Amino acid sequence: MSAPSTGGASRDGYGSALLRLSADPRVVVLEADLGKSTKSCLFRAEHPERTVSLGIAEQNMMLVAAGMASSGKVPFASTFAIFTERAFEQVRNGISRPGLAVHICGSHGGIHTGTDGSSAQSIEDLAIYRTIPGLTVITPCDDLSAEELTVQLLDHGNASYTRTARNKTPRMYDSETVKSLEIGKGSLLREGGDIAIVACGVMVSEAMEAAELLEGEGISARVIDMHTIKPLDSGILDDARVNCRGIVTAEDHSVIGGLGSAVAEYLATKGGFPLRMVGVNDRFGESGASSELMRHMGLTRNEIIAQAREIINSV
């Protein structure tokens, strides 16, 4: 993998994907008064006749999307991640239980959102949506991967939840390597034989930086972009179990119920394996600059490095 480049925010990739998908007349876009923030406004500007703006009515948006899906449309419904949680019952009973392929995008997820404060920082969304039967859960790491994975949802067949971020992150992919991505399959960004760092979302770039620094200490770290939290790629984890001495997970989400929990649940079925989690501990966020908050909450390469050292020193 080549050195990362400066890219856009993953929400920008979502907006670009909707434009790519607009050639299919089945695609419709639903908004809850935040199209400019989620970037669904790009689709609306080109195709207002296939865009439904429902105002601040997230529950209604989900059920309208369900009705459209039941009528042969492919709906993409987006708002802030924290506001999708208002509509949990509608997602569960109106979308997933009848098996309708509605694609939900929750923007501004996690502590990385920054100054909006704890009331707007969804650190539990991945956990919530993981619990719904049949719902695919995706959290891309950059704008290009968000675009590619969103485009793949067109013929996915199941309902999905994708979390995107507001702020720009380094690109982990380019126009060629991004084509290798596949929903449900983790992406090996870097080879390594001592530690496997399994990361998602905005923490993937931190994982890559951590791996570079660990190499200077003589620790070989592989980095896996686990962009799909559900279904989880057990094959890439099995390979890490065989070839590495432990796994460190990294996510901008609560350590309860997110990527770390998903990996731990799988490893437990295989008899266990050394695992450490980097994520938000059992607390709410705060208001502040994104980088400042990430340091304050322990969501940086330094924490990943510390957990990797702990595994190496204990096995």
My answer on whether 159 and 201 are in the same domain is: no
Query: Structural domain of residue 58, as residue ranges?
Result: 5-171
CATH number at residue 77: 3.40.50.970
The pLDDT score that the predictor gives to residue 2 is: 46
Q: Could you tell me the two tokens for 96?
A: 């997933």
Please state whether 198 falls in left (phi above 0), alpha (psi between -120 and 50) or beta. Answer: beta
My answer on whether 127 and 67 are in the same domain is: yes
Q: Give domain status of residue 213, yes or no.
A: yes
How far apart CA 284 and CA 281 sit, in angstroms, is: 8
Count how many domains the chain has.
2
pLDDT digits 0-9 by tens, 172-204 = 999 999 999 999 999 999 999 999 999 999 999
The pLDDT score that the predictor gives to residue 1 is: 45
How far apart CA 98 and CA 125 sit, in angstroms, is: 21
Q: Could you tell me the two tokens for 231?
A: 């279904």
The pLDDT score that the predictor gives to residue 4 is: 52
The pLDDT score that the predictor gives to residue 7 is: 77
Q: Which of 58, 124, 209, 251 is catalytic?
A: 58
The pLDDT score that the predictor gives to residue 5 is: 60
Q: Give domain status of residue 136, yes or no.
A: yes
The pLDDT score that the predictor gives to residue 138 is: 98
Annotation marks residue 148 as catalytic: no
Structure-token match 């929750």, residue found? 106
My answer on whether 26 and 157 are in the same domain is: yes
My answer on whether 193 and 125 are in the same domain is: no
224: exposed, middle or buried (Cβ count in 10 Å: 0-12, 13-18, 19+): buried
Q: Is the dihedral of CA 257, 203, 11, 286 positive or negative?
A: positive
The torsion defined by the Cα of 139, 176, 197 and 315, in degrees rounded to 10, comes to 150
* Spans of the chain, pLDDT less than 70: 1-6
Structure-token match 């460190």, residue found? 248
152 within 8 A of 182, measured Cβ to Cβ: yes
Residue 75 phi/psi, 5-degree rounding, is: -85, 140
My answer on whether 161 and 127 are in the same domain is: yes
For residue 227, how many other CB atoms are within 10 A of its CB?
29
Residues in the chain: 315
My answer on whether 118 and 159 are in the same domain is: yes
My answer on whether 86 and 222 are in the same domain is: no
My answer on whether 23 and 111 are in the same domain is: yes
Q: Give domain status of residue 220, yes or no.
A: yes
The pLDDT score that the predictor gives to residue 3 is: 46
CATH number at residue 211: 3.40.50.920
Listed residues 146, 171, 196: the one ending a domain:
171
